[in-house]
């Protein structure tokens, strides 16, 4: 351990010496001028948005070839992916700003996705291969006014590739790595006259390692393998100058071995999971605005086989969404819309009574976006929801900000948000409670984004204070009930510096303090986390990244397999260092190598489950035009 610390200190010392050795600041683009769509449901510059928005760009994704989406998201300030260090087949849970899994809304191309068959309704982000993604936009804070349920801690919008290139092109990628992990991916995209097409297919296989940790002298736990096959298709057709049609389809099939529980091996236990998201959309441009209508189907099927005892859970979710944007005047824009969401699940369980239930929610929302020449911006909006089970609820957003010299932005955001009970929580024959109310939250955010030297020195700070009422939890008999309040507060400090064209450093520190009622502990969510990404352009053809992540102490819980009693433990903090190197001997050829957990840190992500030691991944990508 001492040797590891010495090596790490030497690396950091060398980097600091390089960073502050002095260099000229060339004029570069202002990051506040980047255009995003998720924060306002229409294209807006970051300078005009008073929310905390972080973007994983196409360039960043291009320099993370062979990684997974959870691995990339895990290096965003305030975002912890539970199970990121575990085997590929384990569920990856999104914890944003200390909120529970399921309190962050996942979007695919702006459309909400969920799994109505699960206890919490959350969507497994590992179902989306990273090589199908164009960019990711993350909007933090309560965003239910624009997006509805689950947007309590924030929204993650995964934007898939659309075939925007004028000339057709193809990409082929193949990788090999530790635990006999192999991946092949192919992509075709481009435009033919007025039709844009993007077709992606991938195949991932891994022999893996034992999900459960052996203890008490146990040996020979078997490896838990994993297979993922995915197919994605995006089509767009420009009918006229003002009318466009689009269609999308994303199919994913996972096959995974799993173990019985924490510290418990199992041979022959398998999970088959099929998920698809399909949609049709119409985009109509009108003078001073536009209308977007989307119809989307999101189905998930899970089948667990416990050596012949089978559990089959099916989820069917239909979304109809219409959003209208219009410029009422030079200083105010209107975004208004309605949405309808139908959720259903059918569950056949060898250990419990069957379940076949559904519900629906209808919403209308309106937000006004103000912008003056003097630098003042603001959003004021509200949303009204009607649910077939619990009735109605209301949310609001008040979000003023001020932009000075087009480089310094300060903001305040006061918002409410909600999360509906899942179908399982409402109607489970053993544990359900049809009288559950939705979790309702209020959040105060404030902070600043400073482009001190645009694209050279950037400083971002945000503070949040969130209170969730009617938190959904369980009694000692595992019955779902509305408990008391949960109060979370914290801050995120982010710093970026680019002292030279060949050097870039991004670092963050995040702190979350949670105060929950006794039955709702914030498991697996640390108070302190820190991360840094050191990027070097070694030459015109070679890039090198060093990625560091610190995760502080956190509490976890598991159930003893003999007494069946819950046991809480405090998990030790840990440090992870990854390296990534990419070499382009020719413009159309990319070679890359990725070594994760360089110092072979022995850490625990979930009690009783194995985490990856030092592991590697190498690959090649070929582009054809």
Burial of 358 (0-12, 13-18, 19+ CB in 10 A): middle
Look up residue 613 and give its DSSP letter: -
pLDDT band at 8 (very low <50, low <70, confident <90, very high): very low
Q: Strand, helix or coil at 4? A: helix
pTM of the model: 0.92
Q: What is the pLDDT of residue 491?
A: 97
Q: Is the pLDDT of residue 395 over 50?
A: yes
Q: What is the pLDDT of residue 25?
A: 34
Q: Of 270, 187, 195, 271, give the one whose Cα is nearest residue 230.
A: 187
pLDDT band at 484 (very low <50, low <70, confident <90, very high): confident
How many other C-beta atoms are found inside a 10 Å radius of the C-beta of residue 509? 17
How many other C-beta atoms are found inside a 10 Å radius of the C-beta of residue 222? 16
Please state the rounded mean pLDDT for residues 361-380.
Answer: 95
Q: What is the pLDDT of residue 163?
A: 78
Domain that residue 27 falls in: 2-624
Q: Strand, helix or coil at 538? A: coil
Q: Is the pLDDT of residue 99 over 70?
A: yes
pLDDT single digits (tens) 534-568: 999 999 999 999 999 999 999 998 888 777 788 88
pLDDT single digits (tens) 163-193: 776 678 899 999 999 999 999 999 999 988 8
Please state the rounded mean pLDDT for residues 348-369.
Answer: 93
Tokens describing residue 313? 């859970």
C-alpha angle with apex 12: 11 to 14, nearest 5 degrees? 65
Separation of first and last alpha carbons in the chain: 49
Number of domains forming the structure of the chain? 1
In Å, the largest CA–CA distance within the chain is 73
Q: Of 221, 248, 218, give the one whose Cα is nearest residue 233.
A: 248
Please state the rounded mean pLDDT for residues 336-352.
Answer: 92
pLDDT single digits (tens) 100-128: 888 999 999 998 999 999 899 999 898 88
CATH number at residue 524: 2.40.170.20
Q: Is the pLDDT of residue 259 over 60?
A: yes
Question: Distances from the Cα of 154 to the Cαs of 38, 125, 132, 139, 578, in angstroms?
Answer: 11, 15, 23, 5, 27
- Give per-residue burial for 173-186: e unless 16+ CB within 10 Å, then b: bbbebbbebebebb
Element (H, E) at 280: strand 269-286
């Amino acid at each position: 351990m001492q040797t590891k610390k010495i090596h790490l200190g030497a690396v950091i010392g060398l980097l600091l010496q390089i960073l502050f050795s002095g260099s000229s600041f060339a004029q570069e683009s202002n990051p506040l001028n980047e255009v995003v769509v998720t924060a306002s449901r229409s294209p807006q510059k970051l300078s005009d948005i008073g929310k905390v928005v972080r973007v994983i760009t196409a360039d960043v994704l291009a320099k993370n070839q062979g990684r997974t989406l959870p691995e990339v998201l895990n290096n965003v300030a305030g975002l912890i992916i539970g199970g990121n260090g575990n085997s590929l087949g384990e569920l990856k849970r999104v914890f944003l700003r200390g909120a529970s899994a399921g309190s962050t809304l996942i979007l695919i191309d702006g459309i909400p996705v969920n799994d109505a068959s699960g206890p919490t309704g959350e969507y497994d982000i590992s179902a989306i291969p990273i090589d199908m993604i164009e960019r990711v936009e993350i909007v933090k804070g309560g965003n239910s006014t624009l997006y509805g349920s689950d947007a309590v801690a924030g929204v993650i919008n995964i934007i898939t590739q659309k075939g925007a290139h004028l000339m057709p092109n193809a990409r082929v990628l193949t990788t090999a790595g530790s635990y006999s992990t192999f991946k092949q991916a192919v992509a075709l995209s481009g435009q033919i006259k007025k039709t844009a097409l993007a077709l992606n297919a991938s195949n991932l296989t891994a022999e893996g390692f034992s999900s459960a940790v052996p203890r008490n002298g146990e040996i020979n736990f078997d490896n838990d393998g994993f297979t993922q096959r995915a197919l994605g298709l995006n089509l767009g057709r420009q009918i006229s100058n003002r009318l466009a049609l689009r269609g999308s389809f994303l199919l994913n099939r996972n096959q995974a071995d799993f173990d019985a529980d924490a510290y418990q091996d199992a041979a022959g236990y398998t999970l088959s999971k099929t998920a698809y998201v399909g949609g049709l959309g119409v985009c109509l441009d009108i003078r001073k605005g536009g209308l977007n209508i989307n119809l989307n189907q999101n189905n998930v099927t899970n089948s667990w086989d416990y050596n012949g005892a089978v559990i089959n859970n099916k989820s069917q979710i239909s979304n109809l969404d219409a959003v209208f944007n219009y410029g009422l005047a030079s200083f105010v824009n209107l975004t208004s819309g309605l949405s309808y969401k139908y959720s259903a699940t059918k569950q056949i369980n060898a250990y419990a009574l069957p379940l076949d239930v559904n519900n629906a929610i209808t919403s209308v929302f309106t937000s006004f976006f103000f912008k003056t020449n003097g630098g003042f911006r603001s959003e004021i909006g509200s949303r009204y929801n009607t649910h077939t089970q619990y009735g109605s609820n209301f949310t609001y957003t008040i979000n003023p900000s001020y932009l000075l010299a087009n480089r310094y932005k300060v903001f305040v955001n006061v918002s409410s948000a909600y999360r509906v009970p899942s179908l399982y929580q409402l109607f489970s024959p053993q544990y359900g409670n049809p009288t559950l109310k939705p979790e309702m939250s209020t959040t105060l955010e404030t902070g600043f984004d400073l482009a001190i030297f645009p694209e050279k020195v950037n400083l971002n700070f945000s503070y949040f204070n969130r209170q969730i009422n009617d938190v959904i939890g369980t009694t000692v008999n595992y019955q779902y009930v509305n408990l008391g309040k949960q109060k979370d507060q914290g801050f995120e400090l982010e710093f970026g510096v680019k002292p030279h064209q060949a050097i870039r450093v991004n670092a963050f520190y995040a702190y979350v303090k949670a105060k929950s009622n006794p039955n709702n502990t914030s498991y697996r969510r640390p108070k302190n986390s820190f991360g840094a990404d050191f990027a070097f352009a070694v030459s015109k053809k070679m890039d090198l990244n060093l990625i560091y992540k610190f995760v502080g102490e956190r509490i976890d819980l598991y159930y003893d397999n003999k007494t069946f009693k819950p046991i809480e433990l405090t998990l030790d903090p840990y440090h992870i260092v990854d390296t990534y190197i990419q070499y382009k001997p020719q413009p159309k050829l990319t070679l890359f190598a990725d070594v994760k957990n360089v110092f072979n840190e022995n850490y625990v992500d979930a009690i009783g489950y194995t985490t990856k030691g030092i592991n590697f991944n190498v690959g090649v990508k070929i582009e054809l035009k």
